[in-house]
Amino acid sequence: GPVAETFRVIQGAVTEEYVRSTQGVFQFELSGDGGGTWYIDLKTKAGSAGFGKPPVTADVVMSMSSADFVKMFT
């Protein structure tokens, strides 16, 4: 779905430079289609993004609809 595709694109765009400059872990609690817990880790090693809880404690937790999440990143 659109949420999974958005995270696939984000994962492909994560670079070690983004991780070095950002140093943050973002957790998203999404409601609606494709919802659930998702994360972007821009703190650990080469970074990662995907479904589930982040590998380390999140610095920021955002709750929103999956539709708003997709709009925010597109």
Helix axes 66-73, 2-13, angle to 10 degrees: 40
Can you give the pLDDT at residue 21?
Answer: 96
Is 28 within 8 Å of 70 (Cβ atoms)?
Answer: no
Mean per-residue pLDDT, 46-66: 97
- CATH 3.30.1050.10 is the classification of domain 2-72: yes
pLDDT band, residue 70 (cuts 50/70/90): very high
Residue in this structure with the two tokens 């998702």, named with its chain if needed: 38
Can you give the pLDDT at residue 4?
Answer: 96
The pTM of the whole model exceeds 0.85: yes
Domain ranges (residues) in the chain:
2-72
Rounded Cα–Cα distance for residues 57 and 67 (Å): 25
Rounded Cα–Cα distance for residues 45 and 8 (Å): 18
pLDDT digits (tens, 9 = 90+) for 10-34: 999 999 999 999 999 999 999 999 9
* Gyration radius from the chain CA atoms: 11
